[in-house]
């Protein structure tokens, strides 16, 4: 088991203002867990239809957890624009690590990157294994 002191020591001193070591009170998922972070759904005419050549709709950065929303956008485009080509493009998670512990359970030590977080928002959680590698 990794303690807060052990994890804090593994994080470079220059990162310690924006990477805070915590003990989880609620479940989290590590920022490195998922191979894909988001999806973009696009519908566009494959060729001119009735003289119209450039109608397209894009719903960018649909979160992985919003799979119902992603599918709803794709279904809407297919139903309302049957002549369009609908694509669902995955966006890779640049933080993905295959050896990630994935889930952070209450009581687990983890690191939270707060460098991108707006005031009073939480940052990105990193399991103890990923934090020790990413922020070393």
Q: Summarize pLDDT for 95-113 with one digit per residue, the tens.
A: 899 999 999 999 999 999 9
What is the DSSP code string of 39-107? EEEEEE-SS-BTTB---EEEEEEEEGGGHHHHHHHHHHHHHH-TTSEEEEEEEE-TT--TT---EE-TT
Closest among 67, 57, 58, 69 to 37, alpha carbons compared: 67
Encode the chain (136 residues) as per-residue pLDDT tens digits: 789 999 999 999 999 989 999 999 999 999 999 888 777 777 777 666 666 655 566 655 556 556 677 777 778 777 877 777 777 777 888 889 999 999 999 999 999 998 876 665 678 899 999 999 999 8
Instruction: Round the average pLDDT of the chain to a whole number and report it.
Output: 82
């Amino acid at each position: 088991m990794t303690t807060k002191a052990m994890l804090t020591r593994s994080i470079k001193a220059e990162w310690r203002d924006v990477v805070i070591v915590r003990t989880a009170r609620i479940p989290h998922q590590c920022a490195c867990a998922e191979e894909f972070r988001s999806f973009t759904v696009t519908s566009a005419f494959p060729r001119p239809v009735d003289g119209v050549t450039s109608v397209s709709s894009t719903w960018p950065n649909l979160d992985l957890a919003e799979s119902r929303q992603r599918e709803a956008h794709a279904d809407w485009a297919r139903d309302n624009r049957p002549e369009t080509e609908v694509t669902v493009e995955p966006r890779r998670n640049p933080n993905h690590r295959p050896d990630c512990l994935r889930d952070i359970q209450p009581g687990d030590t983890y690191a939270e990157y707060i460098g991108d977080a707006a005031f009073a928002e939480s940052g990105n959680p990193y399991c103890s294994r990923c934090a020790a590698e990413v922020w070393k």
